[in-house]
Chain A
Amino acid sequence: MQDLGIKVLFMGSNFERLLDGLWVTIHISILSVLLSILLGILLGIVMTSKNIVVKAVTRVYLEFVRIMPQLVLLFIVYFGVTKTFGLHLNGETSALIVFTIWGTAEMGDLVRSAIISIPKHQRESGLAIGLNSSQIYRYIIIPQTLIRLIPPAINLTTRMIKTTSLIVLIGVVEVLKVGQQIIEANRYTVPNATLWIYGTIFFLYFFTCWPISLLAKFLEKKWKVN
């Protein structure tokens, strides 16, 4: 019977296993997002430098990471680096490295454009009322940079969470992999498990990313500048 398919979710510890898988996804996402934010802020500040060499190097890095599909990066790190240098990286570590490399590049570019989008006049108005350089950063430049940064940074975060679904392809047992395992195990007993499992995964992703998107919209409205 059609409606019996749902029972697959509650057989044994299936639902718990899915949540565990989701946790792997979230865990990798959170770590790589945090690292990307920290490194991206540094990179972004470096990218506003007027030094031509610095500009060129950071530009090449950014373009390289953008052009490469994330899957290719994952394969390069997981298979390539492991084989070539004899380092043994497990799937999760490889994923963390790749997502941080990617996230840092994207975040760096966001930070860079947020900083340069603040008009020169803002700084001068600060100077004109007697603020010194560090006060101008603290009270004028940084708050405005953050306001401009938060919506795109959150957007990047949800993109990173979604893209973690690729790591199933380097053998990491995350939510998608768990789902496949459950479907495999119940192929004969619950033939339509596919729909229920993938449907559940759909909602798990949705309820992970949706609040983040809502937060982005909320902050965007609240802090709308001009």
Chain B
Amino acid sequence: MEKNEKVLEIRHLSKDYGKGAILKDVSLDIHKGEVVVIIGPSGCGKSTLLRCMNGLESIQGGEILLDGNVITSGKTNWSLVRQKIGMVFQSYDLFPHLTVMDNILLGPLKVQKRDKKEVEKEALTLLKRVGLGEKTKAYPRELSGGQKQRVAIVRALIMHPEIMLFDEVTAALDPEMVREVLDVMLELARAGSTMAIVTHEMQFAEAVADRIVFIDGGEILETGTPEEFFKMPKTERARKFLDTFKF
């Protein structure tokens, strides 16, 4: 496995919702096994960037490639692409009418048409890995926020994505539940998953990232290793942003 293999390439991406650009000429490559953490002030376009990556938003310029193939040309089979790009959102987005197990099985059974026995076994293994082996029959309403997010992570993982996108998955959680979710992500990172993570947890970002991408006003202002970025940010805006986390 070559470390330099690009999973996702974003080239000169621009996005607007009709009144002014939200993302301006954003270019970013994510390599196999790499963990990229995207940070920046609220409203700078982080969620939008992730949503563009799996086609939840249309784009106005540039292109995105997955495994070297352009996926923004208009002829994309998004169902296929989204199986390769897992995404977990900020809000608890499990399907409330389905049990934990059925939430997880929906994609593999209906989209990938996999064998039920095999997927159930894998689901159980994954649930155990995130500490929820006993919850297969529970409904989302019976779970805490942290548990729901861990199930959502499993639901994305079971599709065997090539890259996982996480959009502030702990932002809506009570503080005491943040850790359990971050630990799962940290473990995934150590196991070599390719990930793009948006987060406001700076210590976590520092611990998990191979590379930090700092966005402000819809532009990438800085990228660098966590050491470079947190110890000596190159731009004034990054310094200001980091200052807002200090007391």
Judge if B56 is at the interface, Cβ distance under 8 Å.
yes
Docked CA distance A189–B95 (Å): 65
Is there an interface contact between B83 and A225, defined as CB atoms closer than 8 Å? no
Which of B78, B97, B111 meets A144, CB within 8 Å? B97
Residues of A within 8 A of B107 (CB): 129-131
Interface size class of B (residues with CB under 8 A): 20 to 34
Is there an interface contact between B141 and A226, defined as CB atoms closer than 8 Å? yes
Chain B residue with the shortest CB-CB distance to A138: B110
Judge if B209 is at the interface, Cβ distance under 8 Å.
no
Judge if A23 is at the interface, Cβ distance under 8 Å.
no
Which of A119, A127, A128, A224 meets B156, CB within 8 Å? A128
Judge if B89 is at the interface, Cβ distance under 8 Å.
yes
Is there an interface contact between B56 and A122, defined as CB atoms closer than 8 Å? no
- Using known A-B contacts A125-B89, A225-B96, determine if residue A139 contacts B156 with beta carbons closer than 8 Å: no
Which of A121, A223, A225 meets B93, CB within 8 Å? A121
- Using known A-B contacts A121-B89, A124-B89, determine if residue A129 contacts B82 with beta carbons closer than 8 Å: yes
- Using known A-B contacts A124-B56, A139-B106, determine if residue A129 contacts B93 with beta carbons closer than 8 Å: no
Is there an interface contact between A129 and B141, defined as CB atoms closer than 8 Å? no
Interface string of B55-93 (1 = CB under 8 A from A): 110000000000000000000001110110011010101
- B109 nearest CB across to chain A (Å): 10
- B190 nearest CB across to chain A (Å): 24
Is there an interface contact between A125 and B95, defined as CB atoms closer than 8 Å? yes
Main secondary structure of the interface of A (DSSP, over half): helix
Judge if A90 is at the interface, Cβ distance under 8 Å.
no
Docked CA distance A138–B163 (Å): 27
Docked CA distance A176–B231 (Å): 85
Is there an interface contact between A223 and B97, defined as CB atoms closer than 8 Å? yes
Is there an interface contact between A130 and B91, defined as CB atoms closer than 8 Å? no
Interface string of B34-59 (1 = CB under 8 A from A): 00000000000000000000111000
Is there an interface contact between A143 and B97, defined as CB atoms closer than 8 Å? yes
Judge if A181 is at the interface, Cβ distance under 8 Å.
no
Docked CA distance A147–B95 (Å): 13
Residues of A within 8 A of B82 (CB): 127-130
Judge if B155 is at the interface, Cβ distance under 8 Å.
yes
Residues of A within 8 A of B123 (CB): none
Judge if A163 is at the interface, Cβ distance under 8 Å.
no
A-B CB contact pairs (8 Å), 28 listed: A121-B93, A122-B95, A125-B94, A125-B95, A125-B152, A127-B55, A127-B56, A128-B54, A128-B87, A129-B107, A129-B111, A129-B155, A129-B156, A129-B159, A130-B79, A130-B80, A130-B159, A131-B79, A131-B106, A131-B107, A132-B79, A139-B106, A143-B97, A144-B95, A144-B96, A147-B97, A223-B97, A225-B97
